Amino acid sequence: MGNQNILTLVDYFETMNNLYLVTDLALGGELFDRICRKGSYFESDAADLVRATLSAVAYLHDHGIVHRDLKPENLLFRTPEDNADLLIADFGLSRIMDEEQFHVLTTTCGTPGYMAPEIFKKTGHGKPVDLWALGVITYFLLCGYTPFDRDSDFEEMQAILNADYSFTPVEYWRGVSSHAKDFIRRCLTIDPSKRITAHDALQHPFVAAQPESGGAENLLPTIKKNFNARRTLHTAIDTVRAINKLREAQNMFMDGAKSSEPGRGNANAAAALRTPPGAARNHDSAISMPAGKDSGYGTKSGQDVVMGGMGGSVPPSLQPGNVGNRVVETSKGLWSGPASQR
């Protein structure tokens, strides 16, 4: 029957070019959108969300499935109601592990900020990567930003490889319990063999303990403030990166060969322009004719061009200059210049 916290695949069908998946209809929206719409948000609320996610992860791992892309965007609510089920969605990167044989995955995949160190190292990975991602999600649920958030992808990767994170600034973590911080540490352990498992995580005091009856701090203002600030920062960073790439592309385009302008870089063209009329041009591409010879393309005012050298092979009626061959001007102003007045 599946698990109530996993988006169920109902059916599928394929055409020549596409594969269509029919899943449960989740109308409750994404995880963080739901949190931001709440009037208040406490550590116990975060624990409830982690517990629901852990329940689904434990079910997947029991059936030999590793999700490999757990993140807040892939956690959806079934309905808009406050008590709606939280669902794990998007199994596009998930894999079935072979329990009968020693089987590890080596493909580098996932969302960088939520990827475990062993994925970057390409030493082989398996189910523990989901617990690492869950540790990142828990950190995010308690403060509004991820533990390895850096200015560049390379710096982020180095922080993940070294588990370089802290619970700072102190004012953002003052209302978070030591149990919650310990749970995050157990998930964000570099050695996957020492990382907490899904079933052990369900027994951790942060997840298993009963909600505190009072005195808890409302985390919503801090979370919304940090989330919006970092979203604005990353939008600005992405904009700068796009501008830099555009400038690089423009520079590459401008590095190509440039054509010279006549009269400036081209000495031959400049010399030709300075040649007096009627003088011989050494660099003229036009056809030159000896003095006194007609090229056949010029006309004198009031006269038709008579082409010589034809002998008697052309009938008089077809030879140029014949009255019957004159072009009658049918529209006043159609021709201009003295050659058009006949």
Catalytic residues: 69
User: Which residue from 4, 50, 35 is spatially nearest to 208, judged by alpha carbons?
Assistant: 50
Q: Would you give the end-to-end CA distance of the chain in angstroms?
A: 101
Across 142-178, b (16+ Cβ under 10 Å) vs e yields bbbbbbbbeeeeeebbebbeebebebeeeebbebbbe
SS (H, E, C) the chain: CCCCCECCEEEEEECCCCEEEEECCCCCCEHHHHHHHCCCCCHHHHHHHHHHHHHHHHHHHHCCEECCCCCHHHEEECCCCCCCCEEECCCCCCEECCCCCCCCECCCCCCHHHCCHHHHHCCCECCHHHHHHHHHHHHHHHHCCCCCCCCCHHHHHHHHHCCCCCCCCHHHHCCCCHHHHHHHHHHCCCCCCCCCCHHHHHCCHHHHCCCCCCCCCCCHHHHHHHHHHHHHHHHHHHHHHHHHHHHHHHHHHHCCCCCCCECCCEHHHHHHHHCCCCCCCCCCCCCCCCCCCCCCCCCCCCCCCCCCCCCCCCCHHHCCCCHHHCCCCCCCCCCCCHHHCC
SS (H, E, C) 139-165: HHHHHCCCCCCCCCHHHHHHHHHCCCC
